[in-house]
């Protein structure tokens, strides 16, 4: 009923919006959310291809992507919390301690 | 124009508008809620694609666990609104141009290289959903057993890492 291309177009648009969010925003929390958006767009493409080829492998890969996303968020948010504790701000512009 | 196509188009518009709303909202809490809306609409996409288990995992893991973690940290830090810092004048236009290039590349790949004309039929209602789930579980625990176990180690490492990172050092004064 719905061509595979439609799903891939939606996935590509969501991925580009996620990349735009990473580039445009300077709040690390929103940058993280944009990364989640990109992972989600990739998942959508996986499930669409799995449906198109009639295999389950794509769906299983989505499970692993979700798990990795959960682990990434846990560690990333912990990093943000300790950066806030040390610098009392989380603006990414202030994270330049390693700059020469 | 059949019912499924109309549903798809509405969902696509909601998902994309929610993503744009996440990008433009100044308040982090609103951004998180827009992202929840986006995840929910993507979950309905999964239902349309005949993957009900993935759809429910999406709702529980993404819209549930991950976004609650985000909201918790936003409110813990009180970082709903960041003070405006110095703005790089070229950052925003350059970012929009780069994202446009990325989208154009993806579109080019889709329409010129892949030549995808495959049409996805609706999920067959006669197929037993329990049977499909059974196949999924069997594949996961037979063919992909090793990645599954590695995933459990990954989650353990992430948990330990998060606890160690946020633990206060001994002797560090409480503040």
Query: Residue B171, by phi and psi: left (phi above 0), alpha (psi -120 to 50) or beta?
Result: left
Surface of B (32-61) touching A: CB under 8 A: 32, 35, 38-39, 42, 45-46, 48-51, 53-54, 57-58, 61
- C-alpha distances in Å from residue B107, one per residue of A5, A21, A71, B138, B169: 10, 19, 31, 36, 50
Q: Tens digit of pLDDT per residue, chain B (175 long)?
A: 688 889 899 999 999 999 999 999 888 899 999 999 999 999 999 998 888 889 999 999 988 889 999 999 988 887 666 666 667 788 888 889 999 999 999 888 887 766 655 566 555 555 667 788 888 889 889 999 999 999 999 999 999 999 998 887 776 655 5
Please state the domain count of chain B. 2
Asked, for residue B173, whether it belongs to a domain, the answer is no
Cα of A84 to nearest chain B Cα, Å: 7
Asked, for residue B86, whether it belongs to a domain, the answer is no
Question: Do B16 and A69 make contact, defined as CB atoms within 8 angstroms?
Answer: no
Residue of A nearest to B167 (CA): A82
- Digit-coded pLDDT (tens) for B53-76: 899 999 999 888 899 999 999 888
Question: Looking at beta carbons, which residues of chain A come within 8 Å of B42?
Answer: 14, 40, 43-44
**Residue B134 domain boundaries:** 129-166
Average pLDDT, chain B: 84
Asked, for residue A98, whether it belongs to a domain, the answer is no
Which of B42, B62, B81 marks a domain boundary? B81
- Can you tell me whether residue A81 is helix, strand or coil? helix
Domain harbouring A60, CATH code = 1.10.287.3510
Contact with chain A for residue B146, Cβ under 8 A: no
* A13 and B103 Cβ atoms separated by less than 8 Å: yes
User: Maximum CA pair distance of chain B?
Assistant: 68
Question: Do A1 and B122 make contact, defined as CB atoms within 8 angstroms?
Answer: yes
**Residue A35 domain boundaries:** 4-92
Asked, for residue B93, whether it belongs to a domain, the answer is no
ipTM, two decimals, is 0.90
- Digit-coded pLDDT (tens) for A3-62: 888 888 999 999 999 999 999 888 888 999 999 999 999 999 999 988 888 888 888 999
Q: Is the same domain home to B71 and B134?
A: no
Domain harbouring B16, CATH code = 1.20.120.1200
The whole-angstrom separation of Cα B174 and Cα B100 is 48
Which of B59, B81, B103 marks a domain boundary? B81
Surface of A (17-76) touching B: CB under 8 A: 17-21, 23-27, 29-30, 32-34, 36-37, 40, 43-44, 47-48, 50-52, 56-57, 59-60, 62-64, 66-75
Which of B41, B63, B81 marks a domain boundary? B81
């Amino acid at each position: 009923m719905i061509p595979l291309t439609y799903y891939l177009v939606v996935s590509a648009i969501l991925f580009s919006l996620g990349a735009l969010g990473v580039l445009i925003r300077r709040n690390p929390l929103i940058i993280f959310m944009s990364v989640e958006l990109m992972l989600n767009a990739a998942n959508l493409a996986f499930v669409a291809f799995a449906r198109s080829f009639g295999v389950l492998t794509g769906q299983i890969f989505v499970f692993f992507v979700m798990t990795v996303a959960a682990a990434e968020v846990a560690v990333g948010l912990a990093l943000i919390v300790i950066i806030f504790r040390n610098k009392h701000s989380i603006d990414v512009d202030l994270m330049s301690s390693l700059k020469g | 124009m059949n019912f499924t196509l109309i549903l798809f188009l509405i969902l696509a518009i909601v998902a994309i508008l929610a993503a744009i709303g996440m990008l433009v909202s100044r308040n982090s809490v609103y951004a998180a809620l827009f992202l929840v809306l986006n995840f929910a609409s993507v979950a309905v996409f999964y239902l349309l694609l005949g993957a009900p288990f993935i759809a429910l995992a999406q709702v529980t893991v993404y819209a549930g666990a991950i976004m609650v973690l985000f909201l918790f940290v936003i409110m813990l830090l009180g970082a709903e609104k960041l003070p405006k810092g110095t703005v790089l004048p070229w950052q925003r236009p350059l970012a929009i141009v780069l994202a446009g290039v990325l989208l154009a590349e993806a579109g080019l790949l889709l329409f010129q290289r892949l030549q995808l004309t495959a049409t996805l039929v609706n999920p067959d209602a006669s197929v037993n959903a329990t049977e499909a789930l059974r196949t999924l579980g069997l594949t996961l625990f037979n063919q992909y057993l090793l990645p599954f176990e590695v995933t459990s180690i990954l989650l353990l490492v992430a948990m330990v890492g998060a606890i160690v990172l946020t633990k206060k050092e001994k002797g560090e004064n409480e503040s």
